[in-house]
Amino acid sequence: MNDLQITYFLALCRYKNFSETARRLYVSQPAVSKQIFSLEEELGVTLFKREYKNIDLTKEGKILQETLEKTVQMIQDAKTRMYRQSHSQEYSLKIGVLQGLDIADLLRPVLQQFMIHYPNISVSLECLSHKKLNSMIRLNELDVILTLSRETRNDKLLKTFDIFSTELAFTVHESHPLYHAEKITTENLKGQSLLVSTDGAKGSSSFINLLQTYYHITDRQFLFLSSLDELISYLTSGAGVAVLSKQKRFSQGHYRQFPLPDVSEVITAAWFYNNFNPARKILLDELKNTDAL
């Protein structure tokens, strides 16, 4: 029994569907089926009852699920205790932040204090797209990601806690006709293009529904772009309006931001359920207890 088999087995226990499990793990369905079949062959038992599209655990499968879940938690606890026993051991902590999140001023003091308190933990931070974050966190290539809560909602393979809320604002370039508007309204948004960056985002539909509900924006008005860089390029050319978090770089100079009343975005920390890096747990404890965020 290897780590990959354990990961696929526990994920299949959660979703009870091969296609959904494969989608959540960013792998093919045959890859999941192969690992489960190999595990059943190795153990000499049937772990799942398969009936058309539905599957359920056998009695043997339930025993294995209960045992592995306890084992996974025990390994996590043991690694954390071992770290606290030996601060001389070197660890690395890889953090991924969603591109476009303006949280540097908030995160910097937390990380500075963290590195002072734990000099033996090497911290690296990358700003990445939705697609990269969603993929790398599942491969444990990142220990924790900071992203939009709507991206992690209902994902049973990720554990999360909300950090803070940020205001959203309609953002326009000085070359756009709404730059000189007193405010953004349902009326003056008619006929305007709304720029949306998808790039692997799973929560885009809920975001679009929110805009349609509050501002009666039609499907035809949305212009879907493949990356944040492409969105900024379109925004700078005056080709449309974007909804972005309130940021310093857009609140002065060639841009203008109009706050969306009563609408905010929750920023969350998320990690893969079987990430056993003790440094990750220590950072999350620091984030939970800080007054900076």
Q: What is the pTM of this model?
A: 0.67
Query: Same structural domain for residues 234 and 269?
Result: yes
27 and 133 both lie in a single domain: no
User: Both 188 and 126 in a single domain?
Assistant: yes
Whole-number Å distance between alpha carbons of 243 and 286: 31
Q: Are 184 and 271 part of one and the same domain? A: yes
Residue 153's φ and ψ, nearest 5 degrees, are -60, 135
- What's the CA gap between 38 and 27, in Å, rounded? 17
Compute the distance between CA of residue 136 and CA of residue 146 in angstroms, rounded to an integer. 13
**Same domain for 137 and 205:** yes
CA 139 to CA 77: how far, in whole Å? 21
Whether residue 137 sits in one domain with residue 41:
no
Which residue, of 84, 109, 125, is where some domain finishes?
84
Q: What CATH number has the domain bearing residue 144? A: 3.40.190.290
Q: What angle do CA 22, 210, 237 make, to 5 degrees?
A: 95
Distance between CA 5 and CA 279 in Å, rounded? 25
pLDDT in tens, the chain (293 residues): 888 899 999 999 998 989 888 988 888 999 999 999 999 999 999 999 988 777 999 999 999 999 999 998 888 778 777 766 665 567 899 999 998 877 776 788 888 888 888 888 899 999 998 889 999 999 999 999 999 888 888 888 999 989 888 888 999 999 999 999 999 999 999 999 999 987 767 767 878 888 888 888 999 999 999 888 899 999 999 999 998 888 777 777 799 999 888 777 888 999 999 898 989 988 888 887 765 55
User: How far is residue 173 from each of residues 101, 184, 235, 259, measured CA to CA in Å?
Assistant: 19, 14, 6, 15
d(CA 53, CA 59): 20
Domain co-membership, 47 together with 103? no
Same domain, 77 and 29: yes
Contact 21, 11 (CB under 8 A): yes
Decide: 48 and 57 in contact? Cβ < 8 Å.
yes
Return the CATH number at 62: 1.10.10.10
256: containing domain: 90-293
Are residues 99 and 74 part of one domain?
no
Helices in 175-239 by DSSP H: which ranges? 186-189, 204-215, 228-236
Q: Which residues contact 22 (CB under 8 A, 6 or more apart)?
A: 28, 29, 31, 32
**Tally of domains in the chain:** 2
- Same domain? For 121 and 220 the reply is yes
Query: What number of residues does the chain have?
Result: 293
Q: DSSP state, 176?
A: S
Please report which helix (H) or strand (E) contains residue 51, including its range: strand 48-51
